[in-house]
């Protein structure tokens, strides 16, 4: 497979997954504030600021906006093309990557991503707000699910599929760590507040941000507690958005892409992936909380960045050789 094709497939998949995650995050938090309209002003500002922190774009946001509220945060994360991680930027970038490899993906995949692109182009910020942003975000989520379903149904299980799945699960793992890291520290209440109506609603919002609320309730049945929510989103081996599940998929497709399937990985990325997966299989939530949840999640984010960077540098970009170097190489042969 050509490196440029692998590059486009990888980023197409990551951008679609990123757009879905941001859309779900905004939809859930807007609904939360609608349900709790008497939320205090200080808590309201902290609530919206946490969304910016979860994306890691607080410096870019501060450059263009004075304060974090429902309007500015939604504008920045959904519609602002100055933000390369906004929904519009992600969908446009995904569509451009798909266009460059149109002959490498199925017709159904192309039509799905192109229809989403046209839908976004036909809408304005003012129009979305007047019609109700929930429907807009739901449309983004459904389009992402449809795209992933069509990909699973129409794309051959070859090298391209490995890059698509690797990019999707790498992006998903990263977003899960960010949601959990920021929300855990901002929402963790005092001992007297645990179990209250607001506390429960906030943690329901955290789980819904990862599409995990129903799965959590089927697993635990009882009340929603911060450490239980953290445990589920980190260690569940069956929920497809937990860190454990995502890293198992990342490790599998990483070793296929790098051809590093032996018992002792040769590449640094494969070794880092295997170590992280081993930690997720052996640690408990008590171990993580004793170590420090923030430190644990920051280390995971750093590991995911290193894995992604090595795969990109190893498989998608090659240093260009000069004509003289190429001639000398041929002469030596």
Q: What is the pLDDT of residues 187-223, one digit of tens each?
A: 555 444 445 566 677 788 889 889 999 999 998 877 7
Is residue 325 predicted with pLDDT exceeding 90?
A: no
Phi and psi torsions of 290, nearest 5° = -65, -40
Cα separation of 154 and 106, whole Å? 6
Give the torsion sign (CA, 32, 36, 42, 45): positive
User: What's the pLDDT score for residue 32?
Assistant: 73
Cα separation of 240 and 23, whole Å? 18
User: What's the pLDDT score for residue 225?
Assistant: 82
Residue range 314-327: mean pLDDT, rounded: 54
Rg of the chain over Cα atoms, rounded to whole angstroms, equals: 21
Taking phi first (over 0 means left), then psi (-120 to 50 degrees means alpha), and beta for anything else, what does residue 56 get? left
- Residues 113, 16 contacting (CB under 8 angstroms): yes
Cα separation of 159 and 35, whole Å? 46
Helix (H) or strand (E) holding 310: helix 293-315
User: What's the pLDDT score for residue 323?
Assistant: 40
* Nearest CA-CA partner of 25 in 56, 63, 66: 56
Cα separation of 236 and 245, whole Å? 7
Is pLDDT larger for residue 125 or for residue 75?
Answer: 75
Question: What are the extents of the domains in the chain?
Answer: 1-155, 156-318
* Nearest CA-CA partner of 24 in 151, 185, 142: 142
Using 50, 70 and 90 to split pLDDT, how confident is the model at 97? very high
Is residue 174 predicted with pLDDT exceeding 50?
A: yes
Give the torsion sign (CA, 270, 276, 278, 281): negative
Average pLDDT over the chain reads 85
Cα separation of 175 and 209, whole Å? 10
Torsion of CA 169, 170, 175, 176, to 10 degrees: 60
User: What's the pLDDT score for residue 319?
Assistant: 47
Residues in the chain: 333
Token duo for residue 251:
């490790």
Token duo for residue 243:
């860190």
Q: What pTM, to 2 d.p., does this model score? A: 0.88
* DSSP H helices in 75-196: 87-100, 107-121, 125-131, 133-154, 159-187
């Amino acid at each position: 497979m050509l490196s440029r094709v692998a590059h486009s497939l990888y980023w197409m998949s990551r951008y679609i997954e990123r757009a879905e995650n941001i859309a779900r995050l905004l939809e859930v938090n807007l609904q939360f504030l609608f349900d709790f309209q008497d939320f205090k002003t200080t808590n309201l500002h902290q609530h919206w600021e946490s969304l910016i922190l979860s994306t890691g774009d607080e410096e870019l946001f501060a450059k263009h906006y004075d304060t974090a509220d429902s309007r500015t945060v939604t504008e920045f994360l959904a519609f602002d093309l100055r933000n390369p991680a906004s929904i519009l930027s992600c969908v446009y970038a995904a569509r451009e990557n798909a266009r460059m490899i149109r002959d490498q993906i199925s017709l159904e995949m192309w039509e799905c991503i192109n229809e989403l692109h046209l839908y976004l182009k036909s809408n304005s910020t003012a129009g979305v707000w007047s019609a109700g942003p929930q429907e807009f975000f739901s449309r983004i989520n459904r389009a992402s699910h449809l795209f992933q379903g069509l990909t699973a149904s129409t794309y051959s299980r070859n090298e391209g599929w490995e890059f698509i799945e690797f990019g999707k699960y790498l992006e998903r793992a990263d977003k899960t760590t960010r949601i959990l890291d920021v929300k855990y520290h901002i929402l963790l209440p005092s001992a007297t507040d645990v179990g209250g109506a607001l506390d429960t609603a906030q943690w329901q919002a955290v789980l819904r941000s990862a599409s995990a609320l129903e799965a959590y309730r089927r697993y635990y049945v009882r009340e929603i507690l911060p450490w239980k929510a953290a445990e589920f989103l980190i260690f569940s081996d069956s929920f497809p958005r937990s860190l454990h599940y995502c890293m198992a998929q990342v490790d599998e497709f990483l070793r296929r892409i790098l051809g590093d399937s032996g018992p002792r990985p040769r590449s640094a990325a494969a070794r880092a992936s295997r170590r992280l997966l081993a930690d997720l299989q052996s640690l408990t939530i008590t171990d993580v909380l004793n170590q420090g949840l923030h430190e644990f999640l920051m280390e995971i984010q750093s590991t995911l960045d290193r894995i992604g960077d090595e795969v990109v540098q190893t498989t998608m970009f090659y240093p260009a050789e000069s004509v003289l170097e190429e001639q000398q190489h041929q002469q030596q042969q």
